[in-house]
Chain A
Amino acid sequence: MYKPMRSLICIVIFFISVNSFAQTPMNNQEAIALKSLVKNRAATTKTILSDFTQSKHLDFLDNDIVTKGKLAFKSPNLIKWSYTDPFKYSVVFKNETLYINDEGNKSNVDIGSSKMFKQLNKLIINSVKGDMFDDNAFSITYFKIDGLSLVQFTSKDEKLSKYISAFHITFNKKGDVEQVKMIEPSGDFTKIDFVNRVLNNPLNDTLFTN
């Protein structure tokens, strides 16, 4: 592609993104402050209980596919996603196994042998806490958007990029994750909005069974 053409496309894309999201880049100081707020918050978060709404966007559909449920997290690495609407499905991530309860049908998936699944699992846990500030794995950009903070983690790992090219995480003022958006190379994405979050209530390990 000719250089002027490429520059023009970059400029157009830049303006489209600035206009459509009304987001402004953070300066260095703001970015450092946010990073330390989130890291502190993640370090002091022992448990999370939250409702979530998941929207799956596929470009060719008229409407996103919306599913709802509850998330439970216990530090360092117990996590349970329970979908309640429009179907009942829950999955517990424990050690190197996924324990699935699909409307009463129970099954286990051993992810120990799959490096990709292990990496995804770790990223899911980190994204729930928001702590994904790994400059080796991602190129990270920081934005301010309507009083919230948006951090875009673009994957540097070629294998991971085949599944998810970027994570966009929106934080509230306290440094809690409000939204996680996982973007596929095709542009389709999965967006998870968290509401009614309760932090650090004692959670029994038995909750993380299926």
Chain B
Amino acid sequence: MTRYLLISIGLFVFGCGSFPKNQGFTKTISSESIIENNYFSNKNTDYVYKAQIIVYDQHFGGLLIVKKIQENTHRVVFTTEMGTKLFDFSFLENDFKVNYIVDDFDKGLLIKILKQDFKTLITETLNYDNQYKIGSQSIFETSLYNKKHFYFFNNDSLVKINRTKGAKEKVSFQFSNISDSIAENITIKHYNLKLKITLKSIN
């Protein structure tokens, strides 16, 4: 019984630990307080990605199209390869609008997941609360739609965003093959759902 109690307390303490502590980050201090994600920030660029989505072992694909229409406004559209539009969202600074969605996708929970993921992808500037270091990576702790996010930079290049809850990673956004402020490859992985979105730039 005592052993069980100790294990439970141990798990409880572990479960409630912070994400930075669990990951072994070292806290650092800087005079700056803003970080930037420039991957969808150019108004003159049509961002077009071939998307592969694996949800509960079902695979489907399409094209993800992102465009910055004006300051703080993005359009995010998903079509099939053959051009059929599946959804069309507008993100304004503090607003979100569904311009179009096919009936099969018109489900509250799905829209909420997509809205949060894309909001993370397109948000350009954030104030951060804490700064850490691990190896050569700089990590910034910030809050987006009231959820804790950690931004990982390698030499000024954003390589990963983690959305966390307590000490746990909930969603990760990985950016790779970065050139001229375009991430050629983006992977969005959910840890509490069987959902993975892989994006490959085609423009």
Query: Which residue among B77, B83, B85 has the maximum number of chain A CB atoms within 10 Å of its CB?
Result: B83
Contact indicator B58/A107 (Cβ below 8 Å): yes
* CB within 8 Å of A: which B18-38 residues: none
Contact indicator A56/B79 (Cβ below 8 Å): yes
Taken together as a complex, chains A and B put the C-alpha atoms of A89 and B82 apart, in Å, by: 10
Contact residue among A102, A163, A184 (Cβ-Cβ distance under 8 Å from B52): A102
* CB within 8 Å of B: which A178-209 residues: 182, 184, 186, 188, 190
Query: Which stretch of B9-17, B62-70, B141-149, B168-176 is in the interface?
Result: B62-70
B105 at the interface (CB under 8 A from A): no
Taken together as a complex, chains A and B put the C-alpha atoms of A182 and B100 apart, in Å, by: 17
B84 at the interface (CB under 8 A from A): yes
Minimum C-beta distance from A56 to chain B (A): 5
* CB within 8 Å of B: which A153-170 residues: 163
Taken together as a complex, chains A and B put the C-alpha atoms of A63 and B203 apart, in Å, by: 10
Contact indicator A102/B61 (Cβ below 8 Å): yes
Q: Count contacts between A and B, CB distance < 8 Å.
A: 61
Contact residue among B50, B67, B202 (Cβ-Cβ distance under 8 Å from A61): B67
Contacts of A100 in B (CB 8 A): 60-61
* Closest residue on chain A to residue B50 by CB atoms: A87
Contacts of B60 in A (CB 8 A): 100, 107, 109
Number of chain A residues whose Cβ lies closer than 8 Å to a Cβ of chain B: 28
Contact indicator B75/A60 (Cβ below 8 Å): yes
Taken together as a complex, chains A and B put the C-alpha atoms of A83 and B100 apart, in Å, by: 26
Contact indicator A62/B44 (Cβ below 8 Å): yes
Q: What are 25 sample pairs from A and B whose C-beta atoms fall under 8 A apart?
A: A56-B63, A56-B79, A56-B83, A58-B77, A60-B67, A61-B65, A61-B67, A62-B44, A62-B46, A65-B203, A83-B81, A89-B50, A91-B81, A100-B60, A102-B52, A103-B52, A105-B52, A105-B61, A107-B60, A182-B83, A184-B85, A186-B99, A188-B85, A190-B82, A190-B84
Binding site for A on B (CB under 8 A): 44, 46, 48, 50, 52, 58-61, 63, 65, 67, 69, 75, 77, 79, 81-85, 88, 99-100, 102, 200, 202-203
